[in-house]
């Protein structure tokens, strides 16, 4: 058990993330971050208002 902790401490951070989330998880979080950052950049302060109205249309 102690040996497992030693190996995790020696691994670089990106390898721990891959081990924890898998390749699909890393790709998902990266794409989600890029899309969110892009939307916030272009929409500015109105970002949440526009998203709320868009989602609200689904339920009308």
pLDDT score recorded for residue 1: 47
pLDDT score recorded for residue 18: 80
CA pseudo-torsion sign 41, 43, 45, 49? negative
> Which residues have CB under 8 Å from 29's CB, separation 6+?
21
Q: Give CA–CA dist 12/4, Å, rounded.
A: 14
pLDDT score recorded for residue 44: 77
Q: Give CA–CA dist 3/1, Å, rounded.
A: 5
**How remote is the C-alpha of 35 from its chain's centroid?**
10
User: What is the total count of domains within the chain?
Assistant: 1
pLDDT score recorded for residue 24: 86
Q: Are 6 and 14 in contact (CB under 8 A)?
A: no
For residue 50, the enclosing domain spans 2-58
Averaged over successive runs of 10 residues, the pLDDT of the chain (60 residues) comes to: 55 81 86 87 77 84
């Amino acid at each position: 058990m102690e040996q497992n902790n030693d190996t995790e401490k020696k691994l670089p951070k990106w390898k721990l993330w891959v081990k924890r989330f898998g390749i699909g998880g890393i790709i998902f979080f990266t794409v989600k971050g890029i899309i969110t950052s892009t939307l916030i950049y272009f929409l500015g302060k109105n970002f949440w208002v526009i998203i709320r109205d868009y989602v609200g249309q689904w339920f009308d």
